[in-house]
Each structure stands twice: as C-alpha cells, then as structure tokens.
Copies of this chain bind each other. A is one copy, B any other.
C-alpha cells in the first residue's frame, strides 16, 4: 500500500498524463515538501512526514505549474507556492478526515485512524501554519493575502457545509456556493498564483482564476457523486460518509426536487433517520429521475465553462494539458 514520500501520484491507464509538461517542476515541489515537512523531534517528524503522503493527486500544484508554463516564465516562486497550496490542501484533508470519521484516504490509513483525532487536529494546524510561513518566504505580501483570503473562504465554506448537515431543504444554488468556497477557491487560487507570477495581465489572471473555480466546482460535484456510487477499491478512500453526515449533495437535492410530495417525504425520512441509509438503499431513489446523470451533466457544464477561459492562452503542451484536466475531472472514477 505504501508509496515513498517523494513520489507524486503516477498516471495509470484510466488517467491521462496530466503531469508531463511540468514533471521536473513537480519533482521540485516534492523536494520542497519533503525538506519543509520534517522535525528534529521523532514523534513530530513521523507525523509531519506522513502529511506528505496524504494529498495524493497533487492537483493544485499541477494546476499552478501548468498555468505558469502556459503563460510564460516559470519562477522559483511557482515551485514554492506549489508546495504551499499542496500543504493547505493536505491540512484541509487531515481535518476533514476528523470531521468525517474516515478511516482511509488514498489507500492509506487516515491520521485520525493511525494516530488519533488529537494528532489530526495538530497536524492540520502544523500544515496550515507552515504553509503560511512558506508563502511569506517569497517576500510578497500580495501572495500572502491571496492565500490567506482563499484559505479563509475554504474554512467558511466548510463551516457553512457543517451548518447545513441534515438540512435537505438546501437549494442547488446554495450547494454551488458551498462547494465553490470549500473546494473551488483553492483551485482558483492555484491558477491565479500561477498566472500572476508568470507575468500575465490582470485580465488573464482573472480568466485563469475563473478557470480554476469552475474546474473546482466540477471536480467537487463528481467527488460527491463518487461518494454515492464510486468503489472504495478504486477511489482509495472511505465512501458513503456524506450520507452518514447527512450532507445534501447534488444528486440528492435533484431527487428531492423531482419526486412527488409523498415520495419526497419518504426520501426525507430515509435520509434523516438515525442510522444513515446504505448507498445501495439510496440508488433506486436516485435512478428514478436520473439524478446521478443530472449531476454528471452539471459537472460537464462547469467543465465546459472552465474551458472557455483558456481561450486567452497560446497553444502549448501546458495549455492542452489544462484542457485535458478539465475533461478528465468529469470522467474520473477516483
């Protein structure tokens, strides 16, 4: 199960090579992560090194580096900021796993299951604070502000989501707002930083920010669908946690909006019962109005919207790979 600490997720047959154009830069990001996430104290060292392993796909640094390469010059700041956004992402994952009481993530035991919740809370804090320190080392208050704001929006989104647990009256637009905050803000920020430090105009920076945001929304919709009907062996993480936590996600919001009033009440009872329904028990409710398919179509619309924002870029391997990622996020099975 274990991978070496310095190894980024490699592509497999069902996944296009989205790392190719920035392979050497991603290896440098891994080196930065590895050299930053260590401690002289054995207990701390073991824990923070484990933090290197958890992120997995390295989507955010990949977006940051590809955006930079698509626009122009790759700088040292990009490599450092790639490590920063990955650290922030990992911090949110580690704290998410406490919130979700999840056991597995990327085929690895979660920190809360391998150590305990307290270790998870402190490791997440360590990663957040280290990422802010690391961001400051490039000497730009602008980067610190963009990263601080984005990360705070992520936390506000997580809090909103927590406040909405069991609230199956949540509207589609509220759902989009929440995932735009908790997930898409950091992918947007990654593209924004990549573009800005590559010397893009303000207008292009805004367009790539929008690319990252729409992509992040599409990504999260699919993530929520996989939680309902993905396979644990493929996704490599605990699934069905949204049902246990009574989180309203897009297929469920769609099903509730389409069933007859009587059926709707029945579905609400099922979703709100003390013992969460199994994923299998829920699937007939979702298939009647093609609610899973509806969610996929919606994700595709966001991915298409994301793609439009790449028209400002010149053709290159990096530009093509950004397009590939936008297609892949809605086709992925993990």
User: Which residue numbers of A lie inside 8 Å of B, CB to CB?
Assistant: 39, 41-44, 47-48, 91-92, 95, 98-99, 117-119, 121-126, 128-130, 132-141, 144-145, 147-149, 151-152, 154-156, 158-160, 162-164
Question: In the complex, what residue of chain B is closest to A153 when comparing beta carbons?
Answer: B129
Task: A132-B132, A141-B141 given; name 15 further pairs at CB < 8 Å.
Answer: A41-B159, A43-B162, A43-B163, A44-B159, A118-B162, A119-B162, A121-B121, A121-B124, A124-B125, A129-B148, A129-B152, A132-B144, A132-B152, A133-B149, A139-B141
Q: A140 — nearest CB in chain B belongs to which residue?
A: B141
Q: Contacts A133-B149, A160-B41 given: A155-B126 contact, CB under 8 Å?
A: yes
The CB with the most chain B CB atoms within 10 A, among A118, A125, A126, A128, is that of A125
A158's contact among B122, B137, B147, by CB below 8 Å, is which? B122
Q: Do the beta carbons of A159 and B122 come within 8 Å of each other?
A: yes
Which residue from B122, B148, B162 sits with its C-beta under 8 Å from A135? B148
Instruction: Describe A's contact surface by its main secondary structure.
Output: helix
Q: Judge whether A98 and B126 touch: CB under 8 Å.
A: no
- 7 tightest A-B contacts by CB? A43-B163, A133-B148, A136-B145, A136-B144, A132-B148, A129-B152, A144-B144
In the bound assembly, the distance between CA atoms of A149 and B138 in angstroms comes to 14
Residues of B within 8 A of A92 (CB): 125
Residue in B124, B129, B160 whose CB lies within 8 Å of A154: B129
- Nearest CB in chain B: distance from A288 CB, A: 32
Instruction: State the CA gap A42–B130 with chains docked (Å).
Output: 31
Chain B residues whose CB sits within 8 angstroms of the CB of A138 once the complex forms: 141
Contact residues in B for A160 (Cβ distance below 8 Å): 41, 43-44
- CB-CB under 8 A for A121 and B141, given A129-B154, A152-B129, A152-B130: no
Among A132, A134, A152: residue with most chain B CB under 10 A: A132
B residues within 8 A CB of A122? 95, 99, 155, 158-159, 162
Q: Which residues on B sit within 8 Å (CB–CB) of A135?
A: 144, 148
Q: How many whole Å from A207's CB to the nearest CB in chain B?
A: 24
Separation in Å of the A46 CB from the closest CB of chain B?
A: 9
Contact B144 A118 (CB under 8 A): no
What would be 25 A-B contacts, judged by CB atoms less than 8 Å apart? A41-B163, A42-B163, A43-B159, A43-B160, A48-B159, A98-B117, A99-B118, A119-B162, A122-B159, A125-B125, A125-B128, A126-B159, A129-B155, A130-B155, A132-B132, A132-B144, A132-B147, A132-B152, A133-B145, A133-B149, A135-B144, A135-B148, A136-B145, A140-B141, A141-B141
